[in-house]
A = this chain, B = another copy of it.
Amino acid sequence: MAARTIADEGEFGLIAAVTSGLTMPDAVTVGPGDDCAVFAPTGQVVVSTDALYEDVHFRKAWSGPHDVGRKAVGSALADVEAMGATPLGVVVALSAPPETPTDWVLEFTKGVREECELAGAALVGGDTTRGPAIGVVVTVFGDLQGRTPLLRSGARPGDVVAYVGRLGMAAAGLAVLGRGFRSPGAVVRAHRVPEVPYGQGRVASQAGATSLIDCSDGPLADLGHVARASGVAIDLDSGSLDVDEAQKTVAAAIGGGDPLNYILTGGDDHALLGTFAGSDVPQGWTVIGRVLPLGPDAEASVTVDGKVWSGDAGGWRHF
């Protein structure tokens, strides 16, 4: 018997399956099923939207539907954390070819729901539609709960740079998958699903962070945004960057050069990178550098041990 496809379910059958048994927190006053969902924030609201497309951002051969659901939601909610906000709600627009198995969508939905639960956010709505390939657009919103938004522009000379989360693990995973390997497991899993440090955006805000960003394109690229927005320079201390055994293994096995490359230029782990007065760094965060005044050439830049990093510093190129 052929597996059921989403064409068999139809739009309304699919939506019913995706939303069945959802419970809503008090802050969501109208859940899925009407023209809009409705929520009642207690402070200012932050919003961001993020797209993942098959064969651009993920491959079905490398990531299962559950992974894709978790990654789509996690990578979007990291932006909420990066404002110092608390995740509140998620809407998901899924496009897929009609022959997509229903089971793929149901597993994807389980991943979406699991990541929402980890973050404390509610899946409040979505859209399902036919499309040429699987495409997932997740729009997230969070509640600042009275806190001031943490911008990229607040870093001050004298601050230290610190992070919480993982760095360069997803990039090492992508490197091995691209060569046809499926191990080490730690980096492959990191490519499939980020481990977003939920709650640490609020923690950073309460600790007095001066700027915050989530690491989606690698620390050199992302701290570059902070440096430019703040009109400062940033220098990282390579000795403070712990290379994971799995990253060393990958670099050695595939001739990938210095494993610090994964850490400095690898995106998709969605760690949080913040700047703080030195005494304000929260517990669990690691100091990896410092904020400096602009040099005589007045060009905002990120250096490593005082020098321009010579490895691949390209970040992710979208087109």
Binding site for B on A (CB under 8 A): 6-7, 9-11, 14, 29-30, 33-41, 44-51, 53-57, 79-80, 82-83, 85, 89, 91-93, 95, 98, 124-133, 135, 137, 139, 141-142, 144, 149, 151-152, 212-214, 229, 317-319
Contact between B317 and A152 (Cβ–Cβ < 8 Å)?
Answer: no
In the assembled complex, 15 residue pairs joining A and B whose CB atoms fall closer than 8 Å, in A order, are A34-B149, A36-B142, A40-B44, A48-B125, A49-B92, A49-B125, A49-B127, A51-B131, A53-B95, A53-B130, A53-B131, A56-B129, A56-B130, A137-B137, A137-B139
Query: In the assembled complex, which residues on chain B have CB atoms less than 8 Å from the CB atom of A55?
Result: 132
Query: In the assembled complex, which residues on chain B have CB atoms less than 8 Å from the CB atom of A124?
Result: 47
Q: Which residue of B lies closest to A81 (CB)?
A: B35
Whole-angstrom CA separation of A7 from B128 in the bound complex: 28
Query: Quick one: which of A48, A80, A98, A133 has the most chain B CB within 10 A?
Result: A48
Q: Which residue of B lies closest to A151 (CB)?
A: B34
Q: Which residue of B lies closest to A91 (CB)?
A: B49
Residues A149 and B29 in contact in the complex (CB < 8 Å), given A130-B318, A213-B35: yes
Contact between B133 and A51 (Cβ–Cβ < 8 Å)?
Answer: no
- Chain B's nearest CB lies how many Å from the CB of A17? 13
Other-chain residue from B14, B83, B319 in contact with A10 (beta carbon distance below 8 A): B319
Whole-angstrom CA separation of A77 from B144 in the bound complex: 24
Contact between B91 and A139 (Cβ–Cβ < 8 Å)?
Answer: yes
Contact between A82 and B36 (Cβ–Cβ < 8 Å)?
Answer: yes
Q: Which residue of B lies closest to A10 (CB)?
A: B319
- Chain B's nearest CB lies how many Å from the CB of A186? 27
Query: In the assembled complex, which residues on chain B have CB atoms less than 8 Å from the CB atom of A80?
Result: 35-36
Contact between B214 and A35 (Cβ–Cβ < 8 Å)?
Answer: yes
Whole-angstrom CA separation of A55 from B131 in the bound complex: 8
Whole-angstrom CA separation of A37 from B47 in the bound complex: 5
Other-chain residue from B29, B57, B79, B133 in contact with A36 (beta carbon distance below 8 A): B79
Contact between A41 and B45 (Cβ–Cβ < 8 Å)?
Answer: yes
Q: Which residue of B lies closest to A213 (CB)?
A: B35
In the A-B complex, the 8 residue pairs with the closest CB atoms: A36-B46, A139-B139, A137-B137, A11-B318, A35-B82, A35-B79, A36-B48, A49-B91
Other-chain residue from B35, B50, B126 in contact with A83 (beta carbon distance below 8 A): B35
Residues A48 and B91 in contact in the complex (CB < 8 Å), given A36-B79, A53-B129, A142-B36: yes
Residues A318 and B35 in contact in the complex (CB < 8 Å), given A91-B48, A93-B49: no
Whole-angstrom CA separation of A11 from B225 in the bound complex: 14
Query: In the assembled complex, which residues on chain B have CB atoms less than 8 Å from the CB atom of A137?
Result: 49, 51, 93, 127, 137, 139
Query: In the assembled complex, which residues on chain B have CB atoms less than 8 Å from the CB atom of A49?
Result: 91-93, 125-127, 137, 139
